[in-house]
Amino acid sequence: MTPLGWLGIVRLGLVQLSLGAVVVLTTSTLNRVMVVELALPALLPGLLVVLHHLLQMLRPRMGYGCDVGGRRTPWIVGGMAVLAAGGFLAAVAVAWMGTDRTAGIALAVLAFALIGVGVSAAGTSLLVLLAKRVDAARRAPAATVVWVMMIVGFALTAGVAGKMLDPYSPARLLAVSGGVSLAAMVVTLLALTGVEGHGSDAATAAFEPRERADFRTALAQVWAEPAARRFTVFVFVSMLAFSAQDLILEPFAGLVFGFTPGESTQLSGVQHGGVLLGMVVVALAGGPLGQRHLPAWLVSLRLWTVGGCLVSGAALLGLVVGGVAGPGWPLRLNVFVLGAANGAFSIAAIASMMRMAGDGRAQREGTRMGLWGAAQAIAFGLGGLAGAGASDAMRRLVGSPVSAYGAVFFAEALLFGVAAVLAWRVGRPAATVTRPAPAGLAAAGIDRS
């Protein structure tokens, strides 16, 4: 079967963009509406997002299913349909909470469950299709294109939808959410038409039961490797700090700085724009051009990982100061710097995963990547819940939103400091980039849903 050209790669990127567009509304805008407009505890959207992350533990089962069938397109389309339905139902649930909170919350649980299942099916199968249909020489830049397009989907949706949501009303929320879900589905269908072809991959049509038993043994062997275990702890701590601010940044902007729903949604777009810049800078520094023209220390994975964690912590401390300073604080710039530092450390960490995947016992590369991916998924779920729950608890204790959010941001900054120390230890002795940084994107299977 002919490998995909650049047009085909961009078309798969459009699918990833569509996926990100649906997810960003559910994890940012709906969260803010529940906390600010409906005055619900931040723990509620935190629990809903945790449910969404927990159900993404289905990713291995989804990948197995598309391997057995030999075709990925039906899984991508089906997963996107489930995701789009879940995204719209989530908006319906939030609107319903205004008149009947019990019924609205019950519907929200169903909606976020559908979102988790849809992301698992569509996202996993899309990465499998990308790996199967893209020539080996193009996989790294192809992964970069798809990843960047997903971030662009986050930023564009947050910015455009944010403007369309003002002035806020439940009817306007439903219209915006329904429009995004419908557009995502249409783009997915058009982008996938004819991309996969009609062949079947019989080589992966079945797995023997003993192979599943062997997986448990392989996982135990990898966990026994000191380097793999240390890197697992780093991934967990850094991603816990990374995700803990996701559910509280928009409510913080609304309650402390008086941002409208549209303004706080646009703030999320500013953050994602910073993430994109950080990723691109590290990718360029670690790529062939950077290796030819930059000093060795500037293309070091260790530098970008440690530095990104430290700057992320400093930016979070800036939010603490900004809460005290009030409306005069450059909040948008602060959030942009936070996003850029997050993007820099995360892309460097992904490149480290690729460099370290082959270290240790042979033929355990996939098991190591799976272990690190599991640590990330658990951290994302716990981070959102911990950040939202801690902000609620602190508001009850101190009675001040400024002090409550400040305490949570300060704790996150400390976590990033711990992550920087762990990254410094993990980065020894090999600290330089040996191949372009984006090479790990597709293999790591990471999305901000």
Q: How many domains does the structure of the chain reveal?
A: 2
Same-domain status, 184 and 273: no
202 assigned to some structural domain = no
388 assigned to some structural domain = yes
Same-domain status, 245 and 330: yes
Same-domain status, 337 and 253: yes
341 assigned to some structural domain = yes
CA distances from 98 to 34, 178, 218, 282 (A): 9, 18, 50, 44
Same-domain status, 173 and 221: no
Mention every residue, 6+ apart, whose C-beta is less than 8 A from residue 449.
19, 20, 23, 27, 52, 115, 119, 123
CA distance 144 to 378: 24
203 assigned to some structural domain = no
Residue 337 has phi, psi (to 5 degrees) of -65, -40
Same-domain status, 110 and 248: no
The domain of 58 spans: 1-195
First to last CA, the chain: 32
CA distance 71 to 61: 15
Say what the pTM is.
0.64
| 21: Cα separation from own chain's centroid | 12
425-428: long-range contacts (C-beta < 8 A, 24 or more apart)?
425/230, 426/227, 426/230, 426/231, 426/234, 426/352, 427/300, 427/301, 427/302, 427/305, 427/306, 427/352, 428/302
* Number of Cβ atoms within 10 Å of the Cβ of 67: 20
Tens digit of pLDDT at every position of the chain (449 positions): 677 787 888 898 899 899 989 988 887 788 878 887 888 887 788 788 878 878 877 765 665 565 556 677 898 999 999 999 999 999 999 999 988 999 999 999 999 999 988 988 888 777 667 766 766 555 545 666 777 788 778 778 877 887 888 788 889 999 999 999 999 999 999 999 888 765 544 444 444 443 443 446 666 777 788 887 888 899 899 988 888 877 688 888 888 888 887 888 788 888 888 988 888 887 777 666 666 777 776 777 788 889 999 999 999 999 999 988 888 899 999 999 999 999 888 877 776 765 675 566 554 544 565 567 667 777 877 876 777 677 777 767 766 778 888 888 999 999 999 999 998 888 554 434 344 433 333 333 334 33
* Under 8 Å between Cβ of 144 and 268: no
**Which of 160, 195, 230 delimits the end of a domain?**
195
